[in-house]
Amino acid sequence: MPSPPLVVFDLDGTLVDTAPDLVGALNAILERNGIPPVPPQAARKLIGAGARALLERGLERDGRAVDADTLNRMVQDFIAYYADNIAVRSKPFDGLIAALDILAERGCRFAVCTNKLEWLSKRLLDELDLSKRFAAICGADTFGVSKPDPTILRQTVARAGGDMSSTIMVGDAGPDVGVARRAGVPVIGVDYGYTEVPIRDLSPDIVISHLNELPSAVQLAQARRGAG
């Protein structure tokens, strides 16, 4: 069996159910600008590519277009509002803590690779008392690139002191599968996250429906890599 891997997680929709607070921030900013709110269930599918993309998608749903200066202002307003309300209703997905404990006992280490801003990611994980579990927490601004650019995953692994040959990615959406494929690492998809395209349609190596399945999935991904 190969040595225990570095397990790299996406954040929103994979580790933490952040949709309630992200949608709350989105709709607060839309309403400030006279734009109708996006229904929560529809808005969940818009999450995953960062604040600007979330706002753009929210505007598109109402057929709106704004100039670059207005969008920049809305993005800054969104970030400020969200930062102040980052963990009001957000919480770790069921089974996360137990799964991390089991994997840690097996020698696994963990990192976060997200398209969220690094400081917001750290603030959220601090609020949820999770930061200490991760050797690195890297966002879209950390290295100046976002998923699925493989640079962000490679640099996250390097910062965590890991090795690409023993890295496994875990995520809920296209950017996660894409970054793993481009970086040449196995990817476990979770089917409870935020994505317009069902994760199974994106063909990750393994799909799980609950984090209590994660330890077994990591073990299977290790075994397959070792056999290859």
83's enclosing H/E stretch is: helix 68-84
What does the pLDDT look like over 137-148, one tens digit per residue? 999 999 999 999
Q: What confidence score (pLDDT) does residue 196 get? A: 83
Distance (Å, whole) CA 99 – CA 216: 10
> Could you say which of 10, 149, 172, 176 is catalytic?
10
Please give the radius of gyration of the chain, using alpha carbons only, rounded to the nearest integer: 17
Distance (Å, whole) CA 17 – CA 157: 24
Distance (Å, whole) CA 52 – CA 100: 31
What does the pLDDT look like over 77-100, one tens digit per residue? 999 999 999 999 999 999 999 999
- Residues with pLDDT less than 50, the chain: none
Q: What confidence score (pLDDT) does residue 41 get? A: 81
Distance (Å, whole) CA 81 – CA 8: 28
Q: What confidence score (pLDDT) does residue 1 get? A: 52
The answer to whether 17 is a known catalytic residue is no
141 secondary structure, DSSP code: T
Distance (Å, whole) CA 8 – CA 153: 8
